[in-house]
Amino acid sequence: MSGSCDYRCSKVKNKQKVQCTAEVPKKDGFAHFMLKEIYEQPQAFQKTLQGRIQQGKVKFEELNFTQEQVKKWDKIYIIACGTAYHSGLFAKSMLEEFLGVFVEVEIASEFRYRNPLLDEKTLAIFVSQSGETADTLGALRKVKNSGATTLAITNVVGSTISQEADYNLYLGAGPEIAVASTKAYTSMLIMQYLLSIYLAQVKGTMPEQKKEKILIALQELPEKAQQILAQKELYPEIIQGIKNAQSLFFIGRVFDYYIAMEGALKLKETSYIHAEAYGAGEIKHGTMAIVTEETPVVAVAVQKSVYEKTLHIVKEVADKGVFVLAVVEEGDTEMQKWANKVIYIPQIENIVSPVLAVLPLQLLAYYTAVARGCNVDQPRNLTKAVTTE
């Protein structure tokens, strides 16, 4: 393992790591690193986008794929753990739509112990904030020598995964100290939007108009994120319905479901409350039996195509007297009739809205953990980089 850490800086030139001294991150007046990192997201978004959108196109200096190469890939794997895995779920939808290729998102600790189909027609993407996660690294080593092309998305310069993959995209989100990943996750999302568009661009399968809309929206994210982060006064009241629960459910559909998964993980790891995410429709297939007044529900409903369907489930749980917190877009007037609390996010091109929708869930996890007296930055039993198997 190359000795990366969260705050030491290292420069990589032609895959040669050169260590240099950098300042140890400080909390800069924030009570915890997690809160600081949540608030750093607008700048982190800018860093991830920097130089990568030029004249209406996505540019990656790090990648030199030819159309022939991209056309050759008939399957793509996205392999990661935890929060990084959640980020890959979005890329699956986008890559399948934009490239017309089958994509599988895999948990690294599972992928590495089975016999996946790998050959020279495979692209394997590894996503890891630390670039040192043992299972993701193990999965990368399994793929190497299979003929597949490997591409890493990492946040720590010079990390092992970034060095061992054929290609690496560096997030540039800045050091993330809190165990609970926040700004690295949203930067991973942005990077995967860019990568999906880039690959479709090279392949020639991305409609110009669609690309233009998404690229404009990505550049609007920093400012719209600021607007959400400015509303911190909402949370002390919102968490009243959550902080004493023993168990709660996060629901959503498709992109909203993937955000719900991330929201549940964040709450679990920081506040130690049992939280599970369900596709809103799937909750009816068993789990509804344990949805009671004792189990608050957090509903994410910002995707227009599935909004009504999620609302339908919200009505059903609200009828049972369940405390419902919902995240919806500004302008929505329906959800407030059913949910106890509603958080509004600014309107934006719908495909990009998950990057905004997760911010209230990060704040929810943070403020709930603080209210419960938890060790926010260093939750029990967890480490920042899981380097043991």
168 touches ligand AGP (CB under 6 A): no
122 touches ligand AGP (CB under 6 A): no
Q: Count residues contacting ligand AGP (CB under 6 A)?
A: 15
Strands (E), 88-222: 102-107, 122-128, 149-154, 167-170
Residue 12: CB minimum distance to ligand AGP, A: 18
| DSSP-based helix, strand, coil % in the chain, nearest 5 | 45, 20, 35
Strands (E), 281-323: 297-301
Residue nearest to ligand AGP (CB): 82
User: Distance (Å, rounded) from C-alpha 253 to C-alpha 278?
Assistant: 8
Give the x/- contact pattern for ligand AGP in 43-82, rule: CB under 6 A: --------------------------------------xx
Label residue 317 exposed, middle or buried (CB < 10 Å: 0-12, 13-18, 19+): buried
Residues 349-388 touching ligand AGP, rule: CB under 6 A, are 385-386
Q: Which stretch binds ligand AGP (CB under 6 A): 10-18, 179-187, 294-302, 315-323?
A: 179-187
Judged by CB under 6 A, the residue of 181, 187, 201, 362 near ligand AGP is: 181
273 touches ligand AGP (CB under 6 A): no
Label residue 283 exposed, middle or buried (CB < 10 Å: 0-12, 13-18, 19+): buried
Residue 270: CB minimum distance to ligand AGP, A: 8
CB of 108 or CB of 339, closer to ligand AGP: 108
Hey, which residues does 299 pair with through a beta bridge?
Answer: 251, 326
133 touches ligand AGP (CB under 6 A): yes
196 touches ligand AGP (CB under 6 A): no
Hey, which residues does 168 pair with through a beta bridge?
Answer: 152
Q: Which stretch binds ligand AGP (CB under 6 A): 94-102, 178-186, 236-244, 271-279?
A: 178-186
Beta-carbon-side half-sphere exposure of residue 223 (alpha carbons within 13 Å): 7
Q: By C-alpha distance, which of 295, 285, 304 is closest to 250? A: 295
DSSP state of 24: P
DSSP reduced 3-state for 105: strand
Residue 308: CB minimum distance to ligand AGP, A: 31
Residue 82: CB minimum distance to ligand AGP, A: 2
CB of 87 or CB of 303, closer to ligand AGP: 87
107 touches ligand AGP (CB under 6 A): no
Hey, which residues does 128 pair with through a beta bridge?
Answer: 154
299 touches ligand AGP (CB under 6 A): no
332 touches ligand AGP (CB under 6 A): no
Beta-carbon-side half-sphere exposure of residue 265 (alpha carbons within 13 Å): 20
Q: Which residues bind ligand AGP (CB under 6 A)?
A: 81-84, 128-130, 133, 136, 179-181, 269, 385-386
